[in-house]
Amino acid sequence: MTDPALTPEFARQARLAGLLYLLIIVAGLGAELDQALLPQPSIAATLLFAPVWLVQSANFFSVFHLSKGKTMRRILFITTAVLFAMPLGASAEEGTFLSDGVALHYTDEGTGPAVVLLHAFAGTSALWRSNGLLPLDGFRTLAFDARGHGDSAKPIDPDAYGAELVDDVIRLMDARGIEKAHIVGYSMGAETALKLATEHPERLLSLVIAGSGWSGETEAQVYGSVSDALGSGETFGDFMAAMPAGDMTEEQQMSAFAMLMSHGISPEQAAAPLAATAASMGELIHLGADELAAIPFSVLGLAGEADEERGNVERLSGAISDFTYVMIPEADHLSTPLTPMFTEAVTGFLRN
């Protein structure tokens, strides 16, 4: 009997599958070129080609069962698996955009109301995958590495930071065609988000402030000291090595190291951009009570019970009228955003 894999029918099936494969790829590439016309291209491509794709896959499986050739069965299996996987894996976009000439790395994933996630000092947007907020079902989640951090460009001039951290959020939203978004910030990201809320309240749907809050002169001095310390070394690891380990056991040190990795904090990252970032943070954290009182949307504040920044988050309850506060029991500054309670609180707030 003739092997079905060698028949004209199989050739026709293979050509159709190849064409479908190319159409899906072209749809994805087209999305990169014209995000404004097709903001969620991969999903649109999936819906457009799903009927043909499913029928074609069914044909593939029928040939798979008829074929006696082991090599051909492997080819068919792999090809079908790729066709199924591509639309599922294409729902996230990664790339860079220029923010006043500085290239910033971002991830844009999902559909629904937009949520922009802002990470902590010396960390990266990896934090949000670590705690399960990226992706977030029912939302379009955007995260990016702040300038000086992660895969984004790293100027070493302090003038390139400060207020630019706030402007970067607006530029990201503009670049991705987002008029309004929920903003979630942790630590440095929270200080950036709070300043953003006072300067551009018309662009926010709600605000989550965690790990830092209504900071003042004390925090500005701490940032200055951190900047000076970072300036004396080449890497963030040098800065960490100069800090006393205290009475931490080996197990506690390993746990702390794992949490650093979850935040995206690398000991190998260059110290100079972080020093420049810290030197300019004073521009963001001196907010007046009248500025905070004018915030017109709901705000959620979170802090760990053992976090030294907890008081600055709690202070917001007396300044912002629509403010809800959640304390994470026994958690410190590093562990708070990695707790299930943190993720559940943020998710519940956004959904309500």
Helix (H, G, I), strand (E, B) or coil at 333: coil
CATH class label, 93-351: alpha beta
**Cα–Cα distance, 306 to 328 (Å, whole number):** 9
210 pLDDT higher than 50? yes
User: DSSP alpha helices (H): ranges in 180-293?
Assistant: 188-199, 217-230, 236-241, 250-263, 271-280, 289-293
State the burial class of residue 31 (Cβ atoms within 10 Å of its Cβ: 0-12, 13-18, 19+): buried
Q: What local confidence, expressed as pLDDT, does residue 86 receive?
A: 37
This prediction has a pTM of: 0.75
The crossing angle, in degrees rounded to 10, of helices 41-66 and 8-33 is 160
Return the number of other C-beta atoms located less than 10 Å from residue 341's C-beta. 15
Query: In one letter, which amino acid is 80?
Result: T
Give tens-digit pLDDT for 1-35.
Answer: 434 444 444 444 444 444 433 333 333 434 333 33
pLDDT single digits (tens) 278-309: 999 999 999 999 999 999 999 999 999 999 99
Decide if pLDDT at 77 tops 70.
no
Distance, in Å, from the CA atom of 73 to the CA atom of 53, rounded to the nearest integer, reads: 19
pLDDT of 311 > 90? The answer is yes
Residue 310 pLDDT more than 80? yes
> What pLDDT, on the 0 to 100 scale, is given for residue 75?
33
Domain coordinates of the chain in residue numbers?
4-90, 93-351
Edge-to-edge strand order for the sheet containing 204-210? 92-99, 102-109, 140-144, 114-118, 181-186, 204-210, 299-304, 323-328
The pLDDT, as a whole number, for residue 59 is 35
What are the distances in angstroms from CA 121 to CA 61, 165, 180, 186?
51, 12, 25, 9
**How many angstroms separate the CA atoms of 269 and 263, rounded?**
13
CA 64 to chain centre: 41
Task: State the average pLDDT over residues 176-191.
Answer: 98
Q: Residue 137: pLDDT above 80?
A: yes
Q: Is the confidence at residue 342, as pLDDT, over 90?
A: yes
Q: Give the number of residues written for the chain.
A: 352
For the cut 70, the answer to whether the pLDDT of residue 161 exceeds it is yes
Query: Which whole number is the average pLDDT over 200-211?
Result: 98
Q: What is the pLDDT of residue 245?
A: 67
**What residues contact residue 59 under an 8 Å CB cut-off, 6+ apart?**
13
CA gap 346, 246 in Å, rounded: 33
Report the percent of the chain where pLDDT is more than 70: 74
Under the banding of pLDDT at 50, 70 and 90, the label for residue 249 is confident
Q: When comparing pLDDT for 248 and 155, which is higher?
A: 155
The reported pLDDT for the residue numbered 252 is 82
| pLDDT reported for residue 50 | 34
Mean pLDDT, the chain, whole residue set? 81
